[in-house]
Structure 1
Amino acid sequence: MLTHLALKDFAVVQSAELAFGPGLTVISGETGAGKSLLVDALGLLSGLRADSGVVRHGASRAELVAEFSLADAQPATDWLRENALDEDGDDGRHCQVRRVVRADGGSRTWINGRPVTVGQLAELASHLVEIHGQHEHQALLSRPSQLALLDAYARNDAERRAVAEAAGRWSDLLAERERLTAQGDVSDRIGWLEHQHAELERETLDADSLAQLSIDHRRSAHAAGLLEACERAFAVMDGDEGPSITRALRQARDTLQRVAEHEPRLNEVDTMLDNAAIQLDEAAVLLDRIRGDLDLDPQALEALEQRMGRLHELARKHRVTPEQLAAKRDEIATELEALRGADERLQGLDADIAAATRAWQAAAEVLGATRRDAARRLSSDTSALIAELGMGGGAFDVVLEVLETVRPDPQGAERVEFMVAANPGQPPRPLRKVASGGELSRISLAIEVAALGLDAVPTMVFDEVDSGIGGAVADIVGQKLRALGERRQVLCVTHLPQVAAQGHAHYRVSKSASDGVTQSEVQALGAKQRQDELARMLGGVEMTREARAAARRLLSDAG
């Protein structure tokens, strides 16, 4: 819902700020005062093309700001979140859009203080504001919008989801078949992969085996040096090359034990020497075992080097490290399995695609039935309302066009066109081709009232919807707008007192001249001011007692 609109140096408006609430807000004023400027401002904030003509004479730029409450606009909240434009710390409850148009014709746009493109602004605005006026940008002139309104009227969310899911399933299967078909004859590929897999399978590629291979190779390659080092160590420990370390430790302990009674700390030294002797004995045992394991075997070394050479060659071939060969082997095995089942899968896919097509057709038929029923009811209700709105003999028809396609469409098997005959005897024509702006506005109002504002857009704007009517029809137009305001926020620019009296809130636009420059001002009207404004609309410049009495009666009847 629109809560605030601020204009600065926009056309003939120097500065204006308007607050809006729920229900019907009417905007009135003398001819030429600039009533429709508010609609034009919302149009620019909805992404319409801007030019330098909207900048007030003598100003460098025009600035427009609108603030919305998103409590009744979940699609807008979702769009903001998806585009990372939601307001931090606000739980997504509010949104601000801003546009600046420079005197040279350029413009910039922001959403929640972040720069965006005009296209993004238009996308967001499509979830927030719907303008019904005498211009081409009306939402109901768009066939996708017409289909969305018909579906909302039919309340067929579950049926539309079923159709979209069936179409998505069909598309996924078709893409899989195209991918498999694009591979062509895979027999050569299978043979090549089988050869590669066999090469890798002949090798032990787990991490522990590769680590042990590296250890074995280093030991075998340095066996001579290891044996020599072990022999020399034994010689030193046994005393073959000088005093024995073990014998020297024993003699040191004997010497200290004879005098230890005189110095207790020597007992600690004796314990340490005893532990050292034990460690020497254990070291000698392990050294002897290692010496026994060492073998100067050139053939064993050659076998190890050959195996390492094969691994490095395979790693180069597959452009991986030796440690990644196991993963490569598994990857090849997975591809082989997929390729071997490709022919069988292709045959199965044909059956699956046919089944998915039938499922979509069944779901689309159910959806189409809801649309046909809703089209009949909406056509009847809207035609009746068109007659009430002063277009007697006019007719409205929702025409469903069956698509000539074999491809399941996520939106269903038909498209919609709103057709209208504005006068008796005229052939129905598409709504988007209706020439009269006033008729177009009233038809749009009739459609929205008939649909009870079921489309998701929370704010509807009607510009001069009462053009060319008066009397009892004006009363009906006002009543219908007020009824629509019970379901949606409605803004209406009007010149009829019967319509203005139905508003829950009322703004007056007036113009004045200062230093030869025309300016427009916007004022929120209180109860007394509303009565005066309605009297002016009824009686002209001079407000008679009769006009005031009629104004009071209009307000009383509306209340």
Structure 2
Amino acid sequence: MLMHLQVRNFAVVRQLTVDFQAGMTAITGETGAGKSIALDALGLCLGDRAETDSIRTDADKAEVIASFHLRPESPAEVWLTENELRDDEEPDHCVLRRLITREGRSKAWINGYPVNVAQLKQLAPLLVNIHGQHEHQLLSKPEHQLDILDAYARHSDVLKEVASAYQHWYQLRKQQKQALLQQEERQSRAQLVRYQVEELDQFALREGEYPELEQQHNRLSNSSALQEDSQFALNALYEGEHNNAYSLVQAALSRLEEQLSIDPQLQPAVKLLSEASVQIEEAARELRLYSDNVEIDDELLNQTERRVTQAVQLARKHQLDPDELPALHQRLSQELADLEAAEAELASSDEQVQAAAQQYRKLAAKLSKQRQRAAQELSEQISASMRALNMPHGRFVIAVEHQEQAPATRLGTDAVVFQVTTNPGQPLQPLAKVASGGELSRISLAIQVITAAQLTTPTLMFDEVDVGVSGATAATVGKLLRQLGKNNQVICVTHLPQVAALAHQQLRVDKVTDGESTETSMVPLDHDNRVIELARLLGGDTITATTKANATELLATAS
């Protein structure tokens, strides 16, 4: 629950510190005093838009700090733990702080940790639920009526399932539509790629084959010269009849070996010539083997030349080098497989879309049944509250029409209509067509009180939701809010003495001006000051003994 609120330089507030208690708290004050200032300031702490014009005129920044007490294992405590924002020293406390500057900058903290506004908005509904004075104006809107029913039914899990099923169906339909739009282009591309793959399949150039073909073609086209030159070298080195290299080296070696005994310094030369002789023999052996194996094969040369030519032509067609053809072949084969898979997927997409549609309709029907059960319960409770709020013949019905073939939405396919009758013999009609302004306010109040009781939010705030109510009806409103305060902290801004008297705590808002500046304050009232404030609410600025006696009686009755 909200324990403490500190406001500085916000609107007409210079400095405001308020402590709140459990139960029901009433905030009263003269018209224009700024009774809703605390709610507005708290709204800033809960993530409302930061406006620079909300900063006090003579200040350069505004600051709001709100402190809450948390129940163990409450949704707010769980959220803080999951987001690593819990105060480990005081895990049952939560402190929100918001700062806005004249330059338009905004900063926020949770338990001293810097956060963004989105995080404040996530935490806000787990701490406070605010009901505004103009909320009854939303009652005629179908989407708001649906929100009220869903909030009462508390079936967020089913709503998530329906939204998820809708999203899945929507995505499948979107993909199918996109695939259909691209089908002609895809089929045209597949036809071209299929032809190219077949051509490359037929040619079947393997990785690394083209450099081998080039080398083979070069060797075959020069085979005669290779054989002739290798034979010439063989003759010059070894097999020639006259003066071949081997015989000359051997002759030189023989002479020098004879001279070794005379001069050993010839040994290095003798050694090198001996090695050269061996090398010449080895070279001759390799040349003989090479010469014997040189191919002069015109048919193989023609085959190789044709394959090289084909490779060059294919490469030119695809604007790349011949040795890149195998990689291109692989890429085009994969593209063709993907295109064919897309066609197959499109063929089966109808079944997928139909299955997703059936799942969505099934969940939407489940949601509708839950809404219908909740609608019956809520209708009976609102009807009873209407009668208690001086509408003795009031009857309220929430009609839930499940339209199985209606266009799908994230919220299902139900049409929800709030219907009401306030006079005997009058048929049920849509709320906006039947209820007067005062009746609409009372019905709205009944709905807000009843639905608020279903909420797990610890603090409920009502901003002049009792507008248009007076007399005995006002007392009933007060009783409803006080009863709500048994399980929740209830803070209400009111102008009705019957409502304020039933509060466990009362705060008075005062506005003081010196002609140049204005300040608003909020003070808790003891018993005697509550009597005076209630007397003012009963009789206006002139407080008489009669109004004070009436105020004392109101307080006594409430106690």
Q: TM-score range by the shorter chain?
A: 0.5 to 0.7
Aligned residue for 1:202, secondary structure, equals: helix
Q: Residue 312 in 1 paired to residue 315 in 2?
A: yes
Instruction: State the match for 1:34 in structure 2.
Output: 34
Task: State the 1:330 CA deviation.
Answer: 1.6
Cα deviation code 1:77-118 (max 9, x no counterpart): 69xx9xxxx78788999685747486xxx966555567779x
Q: How many residues align structurally?
A: 503
Q: In structure 2, how many angstroms separate the alpha carbons of the residues matched to 1:241 and 1:533?
A: 138
Structure 2 residue corresponding to 1:334, chosen from 338, 352, 363 = 338
Instruction: Identify which range, 171-180 or 92-101, moves more after superposition.
Output: 92-101
2:519 matched to 1:531? no
Q: Aligned in 2, Cα 1:325/1:6: closer, same or farther, shift over 3 Å?
A: farther
Name the counterpart of 1:135. 134
* Contact 2:311–2:322 (8 Å) recurs in 1: no
Please give the secondary structure, in 1, of the residue aligned with 2:207. helix
> Is 2:390 the counterpart of 1:376?
no
What letter is aligned with 2:409? D
Are 1:532 and 1:548, in contact at CA under 8 Å, matched by a contact in 2? no
How far off its partner does 1:372 sit?
Answer: 2.0
Identify the residue that residue 268 of structure 1 maps to in structure 2: none
- Report the Cα distance in structure 1 between the residues aligned to 2:217 and 2:550, rounded to whole angstroms: 117
Work out the CA distance in 1 between the residues paired with 2:480 and 2:324.
77
How much has 1:466 moved relative to structure 2?
3.8
Q: 1:430 — aligned with what? A: 431
Q: What is the CA RMSD across the aligned residues, in angstroms?
A: 5.8
Structure 2 residue identity aligned to 1:335 = L
Do 1:76 and 1:124's aligned partners in 2 also have CA atoms closer than 8 Å?
A: no
Partner in structure 2 of residue 174 of structure 1: 173
Measured against aligned partners, the alpha-carbon deviations of 1:283-339 in whole angstroms (never above 9, x if no partner) come to: 989988996888687557635633642563465389996435413312213313543
Q: Is the CA contact 2:365–2:402 (under 8 Å) kept in the aligned structure 1? A: no
Task: Give the aligned partner of residue 211 of structure 2.
Answer: 214
Amino acid at match of 1:537: E
Match for 1:415: what amino acid? A
> What displacement does 1:457 show?
6.2
What CA distance in whole angstroms lies between the structure 2 residues aligned with 1:15 and 1:320? 81
Counterpart residue number, 2:193: 193
When residues 7 and 222 of structure 1 are mapped into structure 2, their CA distance, relative to the original with a 3 A threshold, is farther
Structure 2 residue aligned with 1:494 = 494
8 Å CA contact 1:47–1:125 kept in 2: the answer is: no
Q: How does 1:223-262 map to 2 (within 5 A)?
A: none
Change beyond 3 A, Cα 1:334–1:10: closer
Q: Does 1:519 align with 2:519?
A: yes
Question: 8 Å contact 1:397–1:419 — kept in the other structure?
Answer: yes
Task: State whether residues 29 and 510 of structure 2, in contact with CA within 8 Å, keep that contact through their aligned partners in structure 1.
Answer: yes
Distance change in 2, residues 1:50/1:169 (3 Å): closer
Is the alpha carbon distance of 1:290 and 1:400 closer, same or farther for their aligned partners in structure 2, counting shifts above 3 Å?
A: farther
The one-letter code of the counterpart of 2:518 is T
Q: CA deviation at 1:380?
A: 1.2
8 Å Cα contact 2:532-2:548 kept in structure 1: no
Kindly name which structure, 1 or 2, has the bigger radius of gyration based on alpha carbons. Answer: 2
* Secondary structure in structure 1 of the residue aligned to 2:319: helix
CA distance in 2, matches of 1:75, 1:457: 12
Amino acid at match of 2:332: K
Residue 443 of structure 1, CA deviation: 3.1
Task: Give ranges in structure 1 of 5+ residues lacking alignment.
Answer: 256-275
Distance 1:39 1:373 in 2: 34
Which amino acid counterpart does residue 414 of structure 2 have in structure 1?
E
Question: Quick check: 2:421–2:434 contact (8 Å CA) kept in 1?
Answer: no
| Structure 1 contact 174–353 (Cα < 8 Å) conserved | yes
Change (3 A) 1:126 1:204: farther
Letter in 2 for 1:510: D
Normalised by the size of structure 2, how large is the TM-score?
Answer: 0.66
Cα offset, 1:483, TM superposition: 3.8
Q: 1:458, 1:488 within 8 Å by CA — same for their partners in 2?
A: yes
Residue of structure 2 in register with 1:273 after alignment: none
Q: 1:447 aligns to what? A: 447
AA of the residue aligned to 1:150: L
Match of 2:412 in 1: 412
Offset of residue 520 of structure 1: 1.1
SS at match of 2:526: helix
* TM-superposed deviation, 1:172: 4.3
Query: What residue ranges of structure 2 are gaps of 5+ in the alignment?
Result: 239-243, 262-274, 537-542
> Residue 149 of structure 1 contacts residue 455 of structure 1 at CA under 8 Å; is this kept in 2?
no
**Which of 392-401 and 286-295 deviates more?**
286-295
CA distance 1:146–1:203, change in 2 (3 Å) = farther
Change beyond 3 A, Cα 1:520–1:410: closer
